[in-house]
A and B are shown apart, each in its own frame.
Chain A
Amino acid sequence: MSEFNSAAALSKSQPKSLAAFLAAGAERARFWRPEELSAIFRHQMSAPILVDLGGFDPATSVRLKTLSQAQSLLLKSFSDLFHHPVPPLELLSITKDFAKANMDHPESSLPHEVAAALYYASIATALVRLDARISQLKDAELQRGLLWAKDQPWVDDPTREILVEALKKIPPGVPPEGPPL
């Protein structure tokens, strides 16, 4: 049984609404509004790691499962991963790759800004918790990215703390100007 009367909905639609609807219906149009980034980032941090990273090849998926359950760590979410005292390095690296893939893909299903924050958070976590560098970025580029991420108003405080701590581990220098995205 149809609950929606499409003819009635369209009968009085003005050209502006129709144009906006057709533009929003395009596959490449932004899915989410900027004011929703906070809720989306929060959701991303609480999302099950295996749901998002499970899209990798079968071997990686099995490895992910092992890693996320290793030593009874039970890393269920990205938040669990970033805020664990000794997170598995490999899992951080896979998370970074997932975020990078979403940053680089023009039709990514993750908002570009959220993907970028996830990317820098995974690098920052490796630096802060494990004193490890999982990115090839130069110091200035990394500094710029971490600064950008920590300044985003929708990033939660615990993640911001990791980003700030990571910045302290990078030798002081002048970061390149402009956003890293």
Chain B
Amino acid sequence: MSSESSASSIFPRTDWAGLGRAADADEARLDALIRLYWGPLRIFLVATFPSLKDQADVLLQEFAEDKILKEGWLRRADPNRGKFRDFLKTSLRHFVLDRLNRADARHAPVSLEELQQELPGPAGPSDEFDLTWVRAVLAETLRRMEADCRDPASDQPRRGFIWEMFRIRLIDPLLNDAPQTPYDELIERFGIKSPTDASNLLLSGKRIFKMHLARVIKEYAEQDAATAAEIQELENFVSRLAKRS
């Protein structure tokens, strides 16, 4: 399984019929979450346990099935006791350690010693995980924003222009190093009547982006307060990283 796999469930071996009906909603949501954040999890696993690189996808699959989908796992991710991302990392780390311990008990004690040597430093893998996490969050946010703006059923006039303006003005120059499109070209392209009109188009884009960002994060951060805190935390994290680079 790789981060590119997103078309279908990442849990093809899961016995969905065997799961309790009450848990169905949780399971489906977790399935989607893990699919979305498979990339960051894989990076964290490989960075934390380099010798397990070749088994990373299998281990993640097992982690998802044995740990995450286990009833009640998500409920233990108490927003008051820390971030969901940290809870996920700790769970994955414990899961792999447990697997290696069990393997160690069955076979030679090599794995455990290797494991002790390769236990991660606090910053490296975690930063890489968080950075990939931010990318995944933003990619999903932009994907949903585009779909929303291009929805032909939308009754908001010029909603497609809102996406195009947001992409041309913010995404392309800031994320793809594209040159800024001159203001005159923007007004011609979108038939903008005045600077106020132009700003409103951009402001609408920012609001739609913000709404989808909050929704994407809320799917794992749960509560509104925790969602706002997580957005702030992600912004602070990339700012800190940007200053260091």
Contacts and interface: CB of A to CB of B under 8 A. Distances in A.
Interface of A: 2, 4, 6-7, 9-11, 13-27, 29, 31-33, 36, 39-40, 43-44, 47-48, 51-52, 102, 107, 109-111, 114
Contacts of B134: 18
A19 B242 contact: yes
Given A21-B175, A40-B198, 14 more contacts: A4-B167, A6-B142, A6-B146, A7-B143, A15-B245, A16-B242, A18-B138, A19-B241, A21-B171, A23-B239, A25-B206, A27-B203, A40-B183, A109-B200
Given A40-B183, A40-B195, A47-B195, A17 B174 contact: yes
A48 B197 CA distance: 11
28 contacts: A2-B143, A2-B147, A6-B143, A11-B139, A13-B135, A13-B138, A14-B242, A15-B131, A16-B245, A18-B175, A18-B238, A19-B235, A19-B238, A21-B138, A22-B238, A25-B209, A25-B210, A26-B206, A27-B206, A39-B183, A40-B195, A44-B194, A51-B194, A52-B194, A109-B195, A110-B196, A111-B195, A114-B195
Given A52-B196, A109-B195, A20 B206 contact: no
| Interface residue SS majority, chain A | helix
Nearest to B176: A9
Interface of B: 131, 134-136, 138-143, 146-147, 150, 167, 170-171, 174-177, 180, 182-184, 187, 192-200, 202-203, 206-207, 209-210, 234-235, 238-239, 241-242, 244-245
Given A51-B193, A109-B203, A19 B239 contact: yes
A129 to B, nearest CB: 23
A15 B146 contact: no
Contacts of A20: 174, 242
